[in-house]
Structure 1
Amino acid sequence: MNERRLELAMRRGWLQSEIDLQRRRIAAQAQPLAQTLGKVDGLADRVRRLREHPGLIGAAVAALVILRPRRLWRWGKRGLALWTLGRSLRGRLADFLARS
């Protein structure tokens, strides 16, 4: 009986060391993803802040209209393209997550 317990204890120790090694490998491999997700979180925070303070957007648009109407048109087209791209990516991400 003691021999069996010793064998199980050794097996458990080996398994725990394997688990620790695998966790370290996963953490090392996930590091670039963590950095990217950190940047995305920062961008999401900025967008959330702008949504909470729409007056800032209004002031920026008013300043552009007053200063350079052409620039407003150019940035408006860029903004529309980014908005369209964002909606498309959001839909694709939702489909991808639904499949996973």
Structure 2
Amino acid sequence: MNPRLVDLYQQQGRLLERITTQRQSLAVQWAPVQRAVYGADAVMQLLQRSVSYLRSHPLVVATVVTALVILKPRRAWVWSQRVLFVWRRWRRLQNWVSLYRLWL
């Protein structure tokens, strides 16, 4: 076989090994950045879903703004906590009832 061709194949093998090593090193170094990007992506998706929900339910926005205007912001905060508590209990009751129906 041609010695020049043998040298080229050996050089190609060394380059492929070097590329593999560099890719593995880059994957390890890139992991923290990738986690941060995934976190930012999750936040952006949540924000987009929230905006979409608020655009499709303008009555909710109007109710919140009206409550803030009528009530003082501190009292509105207290009432929002109460409403959230009641809403969570309602959802839990709905889940319980749906599970109970499955058992019947």
User: Fold conserved (TM > 0.5)?
Assistant: yes
Report the 3-state secondary structure (helix = DSSP H, G, I; strand = E; otherwise coil) of the residue aligned with 2:4.
Answer: helix
Report the 3-state secondary structure (helix = DSSP H, G, I; strand = E; otherwise coil) of the residue aligned with 1:14.
Answer: helix
Pair 1:71–1:20, CA change in 2 (3 A)? farther
Mapped contact 1:64–1:72 kept (Cα < 8 A): yes
Q: Using the alignment, how far apart are the partners of 2:36 and 2:24 within structure 1?
A: 19
Pair 1:50–1:13, CA change in 2 (3 A)? same
1:40 aligns with 2:45: no
**Where does structure 2 lack aligned partners over 5 or more consecutive residues?**
78-104
Residue 61 of structure 1, CA deviation: 2.8
> Partner of 2:23 in structure 1?
23
Residue 26 of structure 1, CA deviation: 0.7
Matched pairs, number: 73
1:69 aligns with 2:67: no
Q: TM-score by structure 1 length?
A: 0.59
Residue 59 of structure 1, CA deviation: 7.2
Q: TM-score by structure 2 length?
A: 0.57
**Where does structure 1 lack aligned partners over 5 or more consecutive residues?**
74-100
Pair 1:19–1:42, CA change in 2 (3 A)? same
Residue 70 of structure 1, CA deviation: 1.4
Structure 1 runs of 4+ aligned residues shifted over 2 Å read 59-69
RMSD, aligned α-carbons: 3.0
The structure having more radius of gyration, on CA atoms, is 2
